[in-house]
Amino acid sequence: MKDLSIKKLYYSISEVSKITNIEQYVLRYWETEFEQLKPQKNRAGNRIYTNKEIQLILHIKNLLRERKYTIEGAKKILENYAPEKVLQTSDQEKEIIEVGEPQVVKRVKTTLQSDLEEVKSLLELLVSKL
């Protein structure tokens, strides 16, 4: 029996798709657009993702879908992307991904996302006054 409390070193594209709630074809497309996203492949040629790559995918998802950046805009932001900074945030600010018995994925909304939304609304207010 597997011990599910131990984090895996590598995840398949189907596991990453379930964890991030992003379709597999979108993940493959993002590989062609974002040079930082280059998962390794195993002997069978299947993609294998690390935890850092999953964090990068979640960051890209936030930029494109939550913050409404274009792909070109997201690329410019990712030029300064440092995965260590994302991984060093406090436990409350991290997105916690828990995998349960039958691979049920639970996601907890972070305070970081709400802080970013607040900053966005403040910036929109400032821009409207200019």
Q: What is the DSSP string of 39-69?
A: -EE-TTS-EEE-HHHHHHHHHHHIIIIIS--
Q: Is 103 left (phi over 0), alpha (psi -120 to 50) or beta?
A: left
79 to 35, 64, 83, 84: CA distances (angstroms)? 10, 15, 12, 14
* 18 has a pLDDT exceeding 90: yes
Query: Which pTM does this prediction carry?
Result: 0.60
| pLDDT band (50, 70, 90) for residue 129 | confident
Write down the pLDDT at residue 54. Answer: 93
Q: Is the pLDDT score of 56 beyond 50?
A: yes
Please say whether the beta carbons of 97 and 5 come within 8 A: no
CATH fold group of domain 11-129: Multidrug-efflux Transporter Regulator; Chain: A; Domain 2 (1.10.1660)
* Residue spans per domain, the chain: 11-129
pLDDT band at 99, cuts 50/70/90? very low
Length of the chain counted residue by residue:
130
CA angle 88, 108, 93 (to 5 degrees): 25
